[in-house]
Structure formats: structure tokens, C-alpha cells
Amino acid sequence: MDGLAAPDTGGRPLPGQPARSGVLLEEALGNVAAPALVVDDDGLIITANDAAQGLLGRDAAELTGQDSHDLLHRNIHGHAVPRTRCALRTALLTKDIRHGSAEWFVRGDGVLVQLSWLITPCTTGAGVTGALVLLYEQEKAQRGDDGRSAPLTELDRLALLAETTTQLTSTLDVDEALHRLAALTVPRLADWAVFDLLTEHDEVRRVLVTEHKDGILVERDDLQGPMPPVPAESPMPLSRALRGAASSLAGPATYQGPPDSGIAVEQQRLFTVTGMHSAVIAPIRGLRDVLGALTLGRSQRHDAFTRADLPLLEDLTRRTGLALDNARLYERQRKVAETMQRHLLPQLPSLSGLEMSARYLPAPDASSVGGDWYDAFALAGGVHALAIGDVVGHDLDAAAGMAQVRNMLRAFAWSRPEAEPSAVVTQLDEAVMHIAEAPMATMIFARLALGEDTLWRLCWTNAGHPPPLLVTHDGQARYLDGAHGILLGTGVTRPRPDAVAVLPPRSTLLLYTDGLVESPHHSIDHGLERLRRHAASLAHRPLDSLCESLLDQVRPADNDDDVALIALRTPASP
């Protein structure tokens, strides 16, 4: 964009005094159908076209020279948005092309409007840089007074594609991605959106059908479900799209003749039930395979789709295919991780007279495996072993290291059933240093045995791990703070202590990892006290219920680590 800037202001307009370049910019923006503003690098409005003035309820004099953020941007309550939390201003400062959706702006009459925006850097004249900002109402259908759709300008198409990219790349959930695309295209482009996806076994499912009804999107469960197989030779549009052919137009007449396949029968039903008089159908292609097809249909608006609409639809489905590919890859990785985790974590043994329960929760933003683990197994002579540990990290490498540490611990403990826990862990520490791939780890290893007085005794050693918590049946809770030693894998040789505690009848012993009590915003003491109080209040709960409640009530909301928990309850006195 060319123009002349006033030399005495550095090319920037003063409030109420537009720069001379604003005249030329205003002429250029007059050809832009979408509401558009041009701002300088400081966010001061240089000019706004008629569409923007109408949308914002302000004339050019009220807009020009004003700070666009302070004047227009608000939250849902009408309050000013902090500059540090304004994505539009951040994009202006970093000179990025960026899109935002469903944000609040205030009109000149004080009414709040929810708008989407697209910002792109530009030159405003005389070497002065700034940005072009497009505004539009996301949920408002692009249609005229006669019910016909207003044609999308090139800027409208750019905004839609940018919004589609933003929305689809920010989720790894297939269902969520499809719902987002439906919300972007209905009612902006169509009255109906229909998604048919191919499964891993080449079966077809109509996974989502949405319509625009009474101003909202409505999901039609009655039109969703399994579909007949894709015929190999059918010339019908949906069949061709599911085989990867180019996009095409369709209407009720397309499926009026005798159906050539089961899919054609379902398409006849779709057009009859929805009342669609015009539709476009395009394949959704991944990097290697056809993933499905998207059908956009019109029933309420009068005009039909034309071949000029096909390139935009293909751009949308191309972005959808990439998003679905990523989501499916993530889902496959997650299933592999879950399978691995199930095999890595043991089944709890049946211990005579004792109840036991365990839980594992993965880190919220990582794979469904990690370095946290628990174990329980029988030793000779009626003695049982308990362990809880945490290998540094929460990913597949940490899980592999965890499996090595756990398996070596089992071997050492079984080969030395009479050894004190400290001796077993000392041997394990040496092995970790020389033959295991785990970097460092914390753990508690304990032996549980029944004494001559019929009370259970716990003998344990602690290698840098949060202490066990003992909760009596009447709700008294205390940490077993003894037997603390250094963590595994440091290379430092120090004696490891042991400690012994008697477990009262009907008491609960909790072994847990630090993900249950640690938070980046609170001290570890705060987390331990929180766990102690909640566990005391839940002393009367069945063991499974107690574990679920602790994970729900104690685990910090800002926790970014996985959690392992094992709980044991002693029987009542004989």
C-alpha cells in the first residue's frame, strides 16, 4: 500500500488528524468487502473502511488516530483486556499473520459484539509499517436479504482458511476437530455438514451430521451411524469421494434413479430427510490414504452450490485431512503407550487378611506412560514386599528405565528374602549405576510381615522419596519419616537406614509418588499437609473409593507429572 506520511509525526497520525497516507489507504480499503482497519506499529488506527465503521458503530473521525486496543477490545463483561493477554496486539508486535475467533469488541453505542479477526503485516506508506486487520462476525451467515448467500471475497476465503488451520491444528481429538470444522462451515457456507469417515478396516461410518436450526448448530444423531461398504465402480458422488476422486456437486436428482449401492440408498434418505436441494461433496485425504468425505448441503438458503465453490471446499478438506492424520497418529501412539503401561504395571497379589488397591495416572501433557511405578509381591515365609518409585521423566524412556529398575528389584528381593530392605536397595543402586538405563530414581522398598502378636509390621527404607502415610481407622494420620537415604543413581555411597512401624488394625498405609503432592505454585509441605488432611477424612471409606477420592481431591490442578499410588489396609483384630 502506498501513501505519504506527515514528516513531523514520524509517519503516524495524531488522534483526530489522519496522516496523508490515510487518504490513499481509505481508497484502497474501499474495495475490500470485509470490515477492515489499518493500524501502525503502535496499534493506532490509520484508517477504517465503511464496512468496519458500520460494524463498529463509529465513523472515521472517531476511529482514526485512536489506540485500537484501548478503544475497541474488551472481555465478555465489557472490561478492558490487559495488553499482555491480547493476542491481536502480540501479533502486531511480532509482525505475524495470525487469526483469532470469538473475541469481544465494543461498538460506539456501548454494545458488545463478538468478532473474529485476521491480522497481516503491511506497509502503510513512506516506509511506515503496520498491519491490516480484518473483522467479521463468526456466527453470522453470509447471506443477503433474499436468502441467497453473499459471495465470499478473496479476503473472506483467506480468513476462513486461516481460522480453519488455527482451529484444527490446536486439537488432537478427531471428534473435536470435526465439530470445529462443522461450526466453521455452518451456516457460513451451508446449512448442513455431513462427515463420513473410513475406519481402519475400510468400513464407513457417518460420524457427524449437523444442521443450522434456530440460530444454533444441532447434531442429528438419527442420521449418524454405520454405512454400507464403498462400491468399487459406482459413479455416485459420495462413493467417488470415498475412493479419493475429485470433489463434485450433488442434489436430490443425483440420487433419484434406482440406487446402485447401499450408500446410494443412504444418500437418498439424507437428501429426503434434510431437504437439501444442493450439496458439494469432497474427499478428505490424509498423507497416504483417503480418510473420508465431507458433504456440505443447502436447504434453507435458495441458491445452489456451483463449481466455483469446489476449490474452497477442497482447501478445507485438505486441512482437515492433515488434522485427522495427526489426530489418528496420536491416538495410535496413545494406544501403544497404554498397552505398554498395562504390561509394565503389575497385577496386585492376594495377600491373606490384607486389602490392597493401586492407581496410576499419566502426566496430562505426555504419553500415557511414565517413570512412576508401584509393585507388590510375595516373598518366602509369608513375607510380602511393597515398593513405590519414580524414575526421572514421564515419557517412554522413563517407562523403559522404570521397567528395568522394577524387575531388578524383584530379582534382588527374591534372591535375598531375609535381607533388610536397605541391603536390597543398596544392591539395586549399584546395578542402576552400571547396567540400567534409568538416570536417577527415588523409591521406597518395604517388607511386610505378621508378628507373633498378630499385628502387621512394616520394615522399610526410603531412597529420596516422599514418606509413607499411615492413617488409623479413627482418622489419625501421620507420616513415617524414618529411614531416609539418598536417591538411586547418584554414584554416592552412603549407608542406607531401615525403620520399623507397627500397623494398627484397620489402618491404611499409603505409598505414593510426588505427582500427588507437588505443585509449581506451592511448597511440598503444603502438598503433604493437604494429602494428610484428606486421607484422614477418608479413613472410613472403602479402599478403592479412598484412592479415587485422593486422586480427585488432592492431585494439584497444575500438576504436570504422572502419579502412582498404592494403598494397603490391615484387618481388624482377631
Phi, psi angles (nearest 5°) of residue 209: -130, 120
Long-range CB contacts for residues 57-60, cutoff 8 Å, separation at least 24: 57/107, 57/108, 57/109, 57/111, 58/107, 58/108, 60/18, 60/26
Measured CA to CA, the distance from residue 161 to residue 165 in angstroms comes to: 6
| pLDDT confidence bin for 45, thresholds 50/70/90 | very high
pLDDT at 95: 82
Determine the average pLDDT of the residues in 510-525.
90
Taking residues 144-159, what's their average pLDDT? 62
pLDDT in tens, 201-248: 889 999 999 998 877 888 999 999 999 999 888 899 999 999 998 899
Question: In this predicted structure, which of 149-153, 193-197, 410-414 has the lowest mean pLDDT?
Answer: 149-153
Q: In degrees to the nearest 10, what's the CA dihedral of 63, 69, 73, 77?
A: -120
Q: What percent of the chain clears pLDDT 90, i.e. is strictly above it?
A: 41
Confidence (pLDDT) at 9: 41
pLDDT confidence of residue 126: 57
pTM as predicted:
0.52
Q: Which of 290-294, 336-340, 413-417 is least confident?
A: 336-340
Which of 16-25, 51-60, 280-289 has the weakest average pLDDT? 16-25
Q: Which CATH number applies to 7-136: 3.40.50.360, 1.10.1060.10, 3.30.450.20, 3.40.30.10?
A: 3.30.450.20
The pLDDT value recorded for residue 138 is 54
pLDDT at 150: 56
Cα–Cα distance measured from residue 299 to residue 289, given in angstroms and rounded to the nearest whole number: 31
Do 242 and 293 contact (CB within 8 A), yes or no?
yes
Q: What is the pLDDT of residue 151?
A: 62
Confidence band (pLDDT; 50, 70, 90) for 18? very low
Calculate ∠ Cα 318-324-329, nearest 5°.
130
Residue 29 has pLDDT above 90, yes or no: no
pLDDT in the model for residue 124: 64
Between residues 527 and 125, the one the model is more confident about? 527
490, pLDDT greater than 60: yes
Q: Which fold does the domain 346-569 belong to in CATH?
A: Phosphatase 2c; domain 1 (3.60.40)
Report the CATH architecture of 154-332.
2-Layer Sandwich (3.30)
**Looking at 171-277, which runs of residues are DSSP E strands?**
192-198, 204-213, 216-219, 225-227, 248-250
Omega within 30 of 0 (cis) for the link into 187: yes
Whether the pLDDT of residue 149 is over 70: the answer is no
Over residues 564-573, the mean pLDDT reads 91
What's the pLDDT score for residue 394?
A: 62
* C-alpha distances in Å from residue 5, one per residue of 37, 65, 123, 388: 17, 13, 11, 70
- Work out the pLDDT band at 472, boundaries 50, 70, 90: very high
Give the mean pLDDT of 337-343.
64
Q: What is the pLDDT, as a whole number, of residue 125?
A: 59
The chain-wide mean pLDDT, for the chain, equals 84
- Count CB-CB contacts under 10 A for residue 501: 19
- The answer, yes or no, to whether residue 255 has pLDDT greater than 90, is no
| Domain boundary assignment for the chain | 7-136, 154-332, 346-569
CA distance 373 to 371: 6
Cβ neighbours for 403, distance < 8 A, ≥ 6 positions apart: 344
Residue 11 above 60 pLDDT?
Answer: no
Lowest-confidence range among 30-39, 51-60, 446-455, 509-518? 30-39
SS3 423: helix
pLDDT category at 399 given cuts 50, 70, 90 is confident
pLDDT of residue 142: 47
Question: Is the confidence at residue 436, as pLDDT, over 90?
Answer: no
The predicted pLDDT at position 395 comes to 64
pLDDT of 278 strictly over 50 = yes
The single-letter DSSP state of residue 344 is H
396 neighbors 339 (Cβ within 8 angstroms): no
- Mean of the pLDDT values across residues 115-141? 74
At residue 293 the predicted structure's pLDDT band, cuts being 50, 70 and 90, is very high
Q: pLDDT grade, residue 386 (50/70/90)? A: very high
The predicted pLDDT at position 103 comes to 83
Of 130 and 227, more confident? 227
Is the pLDDT at 55 greater than 50, yes or no?
Answer: yes
Please state, for a pLDDT cut of 70, what percent of the chain lies above it.
Answer: 86
Bridge partners, residue 226, by sequence: 205
Which of 462, 460, 412 shows the shortest CA–CA distance to 432? 412
Q: Do domains 7-136 and 154-332 have the same CATH topology?
A: yes
Q: In this model, does residue 457 exceed pLDDT 70?
A: yes
DSSP letter at 149 equals B
CA 471 to the chain's CA centroid: 37
Give 12's Cβ-side CA count (13 Å radius): 16
4: pLDDT strictly greater than 50: no
